[in-house]
């Protein structure tokens, strides 16, 4: 079974809404409220060092880098089950996993998607990854001139906060989750070996390379003190060229071939 929705807009347009009203607020004016409330696991995958990158790359190079990052995420999870994609704040992507989309274990599906990102980072994006579960509201926000679909709720804030805890981590990839959600799962069950056909060895099983850290506590202002857990992979990709260099190369090609027309 695969997910029928690829974006929040797809989901909202195909499902009965939890809320569909127009509010007439004297101090603000009239505005519609349309959304669906549901339980989900949120995987937040953010561009690492977004501010630093924005100062080191030209605006055009940053645009190419971000589009390349989004394309990599989309292609990486294209075969993933039960996910809905939501671009968020121009520097991260949210993947949503829910029983509403057919997932039997949204948390495990989110972990396996994060594993794939961590093990297939051929351009060394080193995305910041956090996972949290709970109730969200997917809805349209905006004015009469136009609305944007997005997701709101505590799991979104927590997943983003978890992802930003390890900006200077030496691991190749780190997935941060609430220790209570991990709930003493067996990592070998969650991350089973990949099986593939080797040209010389035949059918081969490749075990995972992830390690579980010790639980630790973090204070989130305005929320609660939470016990977290890091699942880290220390096997680094050695790309021939990084995403930063590729962004510079593409802009250089656009200039040389006349596709960069400065106003």
Domains of the chain (ranges; CATH) run 34-256 (3.30.70.1230)
Q: What is the DSSP string of 217-242?
A: EEE-TTS-EEEEEEEEE------SS-
Beta bridge partners of 194: 206
d(CA 179, CA 16): 34
Q: E strand or H helix at 250, and its extent?
A: helix 243-256
Would you state the pLDDT for residue 145? 58
Would you state the pLDDT for residue 2? 47
Give the pairing of strands 29-46 and 19-25: antiparallel
Would you state the pLDDT for residue 33? 87
d(CA 32, CA 80): 33
End-to-end CA separation in angstroms for the chain: 49
Would you state the pLDDT for residue 1? 39
d(CA 122, CA 237): 6
pLDDT in tens, the chain (263 residues): 345 567 888 888 888 999 989 888 889 888 888 899 999 999 999 998 888 999 999 999 999 999 999 888 888 777 665 567 777 666 888 999 998 888 889 999 999 999 989 888 889 898 999 999 999 999 987 655 567 888 999 999 999 999 988 766 678 889 999 999 999 899 999 999 888 777 877 788 888 889 999 999 998 877 778 899 999 998 877 777 899 999 999 999 999 999 888 77
Phi, psi of 11 (to 5 degrees): -60, -45
Would you state the pLDDT for residue 238? 77
Would you state the pLDDT for residue 82? 59
Would you state the pLDDT for residue 41? 95
229 within 8 A of 176, measured Cβ to Cβ? yes
Q: What is the DSSP string of 117-151?
A: HHH--TT----EEEEEEEEEEEEEEEETTEEEEEE
Model pTM? Answer: 0.89
Would you state the pLDDT for residue 225? 86
Would you state the pLDDT for residue 169? 67
């Amino acid at each position: 079974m695969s997910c029928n929705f690829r974006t929040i807009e797809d989901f909202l347009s195909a499902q009965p809404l939890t809320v569909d009203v127009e509010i007439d607020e004297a101090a603000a004016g009239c505005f519609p409220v349309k959304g669906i409330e549901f339980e989900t696991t949120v995987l937040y995958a953010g561009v690492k060092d977004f501010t630093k990158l924005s100062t080191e790359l030209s605006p055009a190079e940053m645009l190419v880098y971000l589009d390349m990052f989004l394309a990599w995420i989309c292609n990486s999870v294209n075969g993933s089950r039960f996910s809905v994609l939501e671009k968020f704040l121009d520097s991260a992507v949210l993947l949503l996993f829910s029983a509403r989309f057919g997932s039997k274990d949204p948390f495990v599906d989110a972990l396996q998607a994060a594993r794939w990102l961590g093990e297939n980072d051929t351009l060394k994006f080193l995305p910041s990854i956090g996972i949290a579960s709970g109730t969200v509201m997917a809805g349209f926000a905006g004015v009469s001139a136009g609305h944007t679909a997005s997701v709101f709720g505590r799991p979104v804030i927590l997943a983003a906060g978890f992802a930003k805890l390890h900006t200077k981590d030496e691991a190749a990839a780190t997935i941060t989750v609430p220790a209570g959600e991990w709930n003493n799962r067996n990592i070998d069950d969650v991350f089973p070996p990949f099986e593939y056909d080797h040209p010389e060895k035949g059918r081969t099983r490749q075990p995972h390379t992830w390690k579980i850290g010790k639980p630790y506590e973090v204070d989130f202002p305005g929320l609660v003190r939470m016990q977290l857990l890091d699942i880290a992979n220390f096997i680094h990709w050695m790309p021939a060229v990084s995403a930063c260099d590729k962004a510079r190369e593409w802009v250089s090609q656009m200039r040389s071939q006349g596709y960069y027309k400065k106003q």
